Structure 1
């Protein structure tokens, strides 16, 4: 009986020490991770809307018509010289084949896609993981990447469906469809918001 109590106390102490150590590590690494995420977001916004623009975060994100497409953050893009809105960028999450895919989607006021950037991707290596591979071309002749093909497509006029007006990645139909759907649905929501706000 004494040995069982002693064993339980020892396990409890180990668990307490481990939990305390994890809490300290979390407290130390949390601001570092947050700073890295903020830097990646800032770089992503500038990549999607290159130029002299100001990104104003909306107090509340807009809502997509399709519940499988989650919009968690929205930024109104304004031209610094004129102060006029030129488009929007949203942080979008869609279900991938392995795990949720998180990306930034940028749309101009006329509905044309200004850019797409993957923030988090855990798809199959050599297949869906090629979505953000800068050396993987869906159009080798013109050196167009999977994400690059969305630029200047229009979320209102174009279907944005793989094997129709989007070139799917080889062996990664689910990932191709997920990203395409995220761009289309989030893009439509952003254009609707811009029109409603009179932008």
Structure 2
């Protein structure tokens, strides 16, 4: 009986020590992780809306016209103090899990760029959506995401096999990204027409 009590106390003390060590490691690494996340976000924002711009996170939540598409954080794009666009974080249902993207939108609804933040698509098929060496147009070296740049979310259908070259063997991924970009473009345009001169 005495050895059972001693074992229980030893095991409990060991559990407390390990728990405290985990808390210390978490507190030490959290600022580094947050710093890396912020750096990746800033690179993503600049990547989808190139130029000498600043980005300011909106305090309001914008809504999607499609219940399957989720709009996340949005960032006003300013150049010289003037609003020139919006970067919309959008999630669209992929074949395995939601595909989370940043979409840059100019005041007229033109897409300035698209970056996939996270996805769980099939390697070699849907995962090619974010592959910088997989070209949907090999002659012009255009990747799947590159083809959205310059398209207008209001005027262009943004539909695979119409004005978008679909990924081979990845219809769901192609449709998900296209739909997410289109909705983000519409949301961005509708917001910008209310705030930008």
TM-score (norm 2): 0.88
Distance 1:182 1:3, change over 3 A: farther
Who is 2:38 aligned against?
A: 38
Query: RMSD of the alignment, in Å?
Result: 2.2
> Given the alignment, which residue of 122, 125, 135 partners 1:124?
122
Per-residue CA deviation, residues 45-77 of structure 1 (Å, 9 max, x unaligned), is 111121111212211231111122222211111
For structure 2, list consecutive stretches of 5 or more residues without a partner in the other structure. Answer: none
Who is 2:136 aligned against?
A: 138
Who is 1:74 aligned against?
A: 74
Q: Following the alignment from structure 1 to structure 2, what is the Cα–Cα distance between the partners of residues 143 and 178?
A: 22
Please show how residues 84-103 of structure 1 align to structure 2 within 5 Å. Answer: 84-103=82-101
Distance 1:53 1:173, change over 3 A: same
Q: Secondary structure at the match of 1:104?
A: strand
Per-residue CA deviation, residues 116-138 of structure 1 (Å, 9 max, x unaligned), is 01112222111111111110001
Who is 1:65 aligned against?
A: 65
Q: Secondary structure at the match of 1:89?
A: strand
For structure 1, list consecutive stretches of 5 or more residues without a partner in the other structure. Answer: none
Deviation, structure 1 residue 43: 0.9
Q: Is the 8 A contact 2:103 2:113 kept in 1?
A: yes
Please show how residues 6-21 of structure 1 align to structure 2 within 5 Å. Answer: 16-21=16-21
Who is 1:164 aligned against?
A: 162
Q: Following the alignment from structure 2 to structure 1, what is the Cα–Cα distance between the partners of residues 152 and 87?
A: 15
Q: Is the 8 A contact 2:84 2:196 kept in 1?
A: no
Q: Following the alignment from structure 2 to structure 1, what is the Cα–Cα distance between the partners of residues 143 and 195?
A: 33
Q: Following the alignment from structure 1 to structure 2, what is the Cα–Cα distance between the partners of residues 171 and 12?
A: 54
Q: Which of 102-111 and 48-57 deviates more? A: 48-57
> Given the alignment, which residue of 97, 103, 106 partners 2:104?
106
Who is 2:172 aligned against?
A: 174
Q: Which of 104-113 and 52-61 deviates more? A: 52-61
Distance 1:173 1:12, change over 3 A: farther
- Say how many residue pairs are matched: 197
TM-score (norm 1): 0.87
